[in-house]
Chains A and B, each alone.
Chain A
Amino acid sequence: MNSKLSASLRKSAIIGVSVGALTFGAWGTANASDYYQQFGGKAGITALINTFVGNVANDPHINYYFAHANIPALKFALVNQVCMAVGGPCKYTGPNMTDAHRGMQITTAAFNYLSQDMINAMDAHRIPIGAQNYLLSLLAPMEPQIVTATGPLG
């Protein structure tokens, strides 16, 4: 298991929760473990990831990035990653995001299309908007680690 990633994920979860508590706590934002329940626990997250990976496979903007991917291994990693991020009792043991995407020339557009595929999957599974946004707010900051393709102006 990669302790660096789990530490960084835990750190971002802690930062997210504490910023949430500091900034929006007064408005009664749910905490991470509530969100794990709202995702339907491990079973709900597994179903979500199946839909998500299906969406990606059908998304012509990005599916070619996954042409040689080991899909069962990818799903296993994603379930644990999402489960852990939303406060569930799981451990992601894969490589960190920088290593996992090294050399893949991922564009910002591809990152965003993948995010949209996740949003569509969460909508399909009727995940409440607050839980969706919580997960997205943890995934969005990974963009600088995942996207390596640059544009003409940076």
Chain B
Amino acid sequence: MKNSSPYRKRIVACIAGMVLVASPLLASAAIGQANLFGMGRLLGTGAVTAVDGAAGGGINPWAVISGYGTNQQIGATAFYSHVLLNNYNMDAYGASVGLFNRIELSFARQSFSLGNTGATLDHRILDVATGGNPPAYGTHTSTALGLSGPTFFGTNYQLNQDIVGLKVRLFGNIIYDQNWWEPQVSVGVDYHHSEMPKNLAETLHVTRNAMSYYLSATKVWLHGIFGLTTLADVNIQVTNANQQGLLGFGGVNGMGYKVLPAAAVGVFLNRHVVLGGEYRAMPQNQLIAPSSGAGNFSTLGNAVSKTSAWKDVYVAWFPYKQLSLTAAYVNLGTIATEKSQSGLYLSLTTSF
């Protein structure tokens, strides 16, 4: 062992020498070419992650490409979000890759938990199915709706969906376009796969797989309101998604797509903290076919079909490029017969 010591020293010295000699070469090799996996964009320009997995705000994708890669770099993100509503909870997590500040590929999985509200919905269905004279809970099936079991939703029901997104930046740059009006504009397409059981989908008269599309224009004024960096985003959504896919796609009247607006604003109080709000219109499709069973289902159908525009006010914190934390107050309106679904939204995005 003793004998090998000088050799080791020599090897270490040799490696150290090679590193020292190579470092200026590596540096000069970098002229004109940024590190492929570097994070060469400015803090905050990757935005945070929307519930559908795309870079944006909390509920809307924006025109930015995820991560911090420049036109010569590849970036990636991972996110986790939790939404705590009055009657429901939602978890969302996923990841994305941003290629050369041009293409964004994203994946998100959403789990929408009904909790005790599932039992309430069971009661409501039974109530309608039996003409307002329901038997004791748990002793009757809800076969009238084509659903099975003594209780259908119970107290631990989840509606899950996976979303695969592709976003392409068409033109514009949020930072460098300061002297004129042009925003950064991207187009996006999402493939949704809902894991809703087939019998529930048939009852609601929805499909479980669909595409949705959007065009997003995001403008940043570095020296905006009060001299603070100010962001505005306007989206055009083309979609037939009920509650952005959690309740399937389309409805009794077919799979027709609606063209709907969404918007967001934000003000950077400093380089790390942005305050803002968002709005996202939702299509309203008539759910539950009238022929679904006995009883007065039109009232229940109307109640389930009711959607509201989603809104939030948020604060996002970017301590450094690798991390952002977002807290928001969201108001999603009526979801699956339950009104006033507002609450707290918390989200974490890591970039690398």
Number of B positions contacting A (CB below 8 A): 40
B226 touches A28 (CB 8 A): yes
Q: List the one stretch of B68-76, B81-89, B132-140 in contact with chain A.
A: B68-76
The answer, yes or no, to whether B41 is at the interface (CB within 8 Å) is: yes
Cβ of B227 within 8 Å of any chain A Cβ, yes or no, is yes
Q: Is the CB of B225 within 8 A of A151?
A: no
- Is the CB of B228 closer than 8 A to any CB of chain A? yes
Is B5 in the interface zone, CB < 8 Å from A?
Answer: no
The prevalent SS among residues of A at the interface is helix
For residue B221, CB closer than 8 A to chain A, the reply is: yes
Q: Once the chains bind, are A130 and B227 in contact (CB under 8 Å)?
A: yes
Q: Identify which of B32, B38, B227 contacts A129 (C-beta below 8 A).
A: B227
Q: Give per-residue flags for B173-201: 1 if the beta carbon is below 8 A from chain A beta carbons, else 0.
A: 10111110000000000000000000000
B103 contacts partner chain A, Cβ-Cβ < 8 Å: yes
| B21 CB within 8 Å of chain A | no
> Assuming A108-B72, A112-B40, A152-B100, is B271 touching A137 (CB within 8 A)?
no
| A27 neighbours in B (Cβ, 8 Å) | 225-226
What residues of chain A lie closer than 8 Å to B70, measured between beta carbons? 107-109, 112, 151
Residues of B within 8 A of A130 (CB): 223, 226-228
Q: Which of B43, B72, B227 contacts A107 (CB 8 A)?
A: B72
Q: Knowing A64-B28, A108-B40 are in contact, say whether A137-B226 is a contact too (CB < 8 A).
A: no
Measured between alpha carbons, how far is A61 from B42 in the docked complex, in Å? 14
- Give the dominant DSSP class at B's interface: loop
Interface residues as binary, B107-141 with A (CB distance below 8 Å gives 1, 0 otherwise): 00000000000000000000000000000000000
Evaluate contact between B103 and A153: CB separation under 8 angstroms. Answer: yes
Does the CB pair A105–B32 fall under 8 Å? yes
Contact of A154 among B31, B102, B177 (CB under 8 A): B102
A16 interface residue (CB < 8 Å to B): yes
Establish whether residues B72 and A149, one from each chain, have CB atoms under 8 Å apart when the complex forms.
yes
User: Does B146 interact with chain A (Cβ within 8 Å)?
Assistant: no
| Residues of chain A lying within 8 A (CB to CB) of residue B225 | 24, 27
Contact with B along A24-36 (1 / 0, CB 8 A): 1001111000000
A93 interface residue, CB < 8 Å from B?
no
CB of B223 within 8 A of CB of A141, answer no
Q: How many residues of A contact B (CB 8 A)?
A: 46
Complex contacts, B175 vs chain A, CB 8 Å: 140, 143
Q: Which residues of B contact A20 (CB under 8 A)?
A: 223
Candidates B27, B40, B179, B228; contact of A133 at CB < 8 Å: B228
Q: With an 8 A cutoff between CB atoms, is A134 at the interface?
A: yes
Bound Cα distance from A138 to B99, whole angstroms: 28
In the bound complex, how far is the Cα of B228 from the Cα of A15, in angstroms? 18
B30 within 8 A of A: yes
Shortest CB distance B172–A (Å): 12
The CA of A98 and the CA of B166, in the complex, are separated in Å by 35
- Minimum distance in angstroms from A105 CB to a CB of chain B: 3
Query: Residue-by-residue, is A5-38 near B (CB-CB < 8 Å gives 1, otherwise 0)?
Result: 0000000100110011001100111100000000
- Give the residue name and chain of the B residue nearest to A64 (CB): B27
- Beyond A107-B72, A112-B42, A115-B42, whether A137 also contacts B223 by CB under 8 A is yes
Is A79 part of the binding interface, using a Cβ–Cβ cutoff of 8 Å? no
The residue in B173, B178, B271 that gathers the most chain A C-beta atoms within 10 A of its C-beta is B178
Do residues B226 and A29 form an inter-chain contact, with CB atoms below 8 A?
yes
Is B224 positioned at the interface, with any CB of A under 8 Å from its CB? yes
Q: Decide yes or no whether B284 CB sits under 8 A from chain A.
A: no
Q: Which residue of B lies closest to A15 (CB)?
A: B179
26 contacts between A and B (CB under 8 A): A20-B223, A24-B224, A28-B226, A61-B40, A64-B28, A104-B31, A105-B33, A107-B32, A108-B40, A109-B38, A110-B40, A115-B42, A116-B42, A116-B43, A130-B226, A137-B223, A141-B177, A144-B176, A150-B71, A151-B70, A151-B71, A151-B73, A151-B101, A152-B100, A153-B102, A153-B103
Interfacial residues, chain A to chain B (CB-CB below 8 A): 12, 15-16, 19-20, 23-24, 27-30, 60-61, 64-65, 104-110, 112-113, 115-116, 119, 128-131, 133-134, 136-138, 140-141, 143-144, 149-154
- Among all A-B residue pairs, the 8 with the closest Cβ atoms: A130-B227, A109-B40, A105-B32, A151-B71, A109-B34, A137-B223, A137-B222, A108-B70
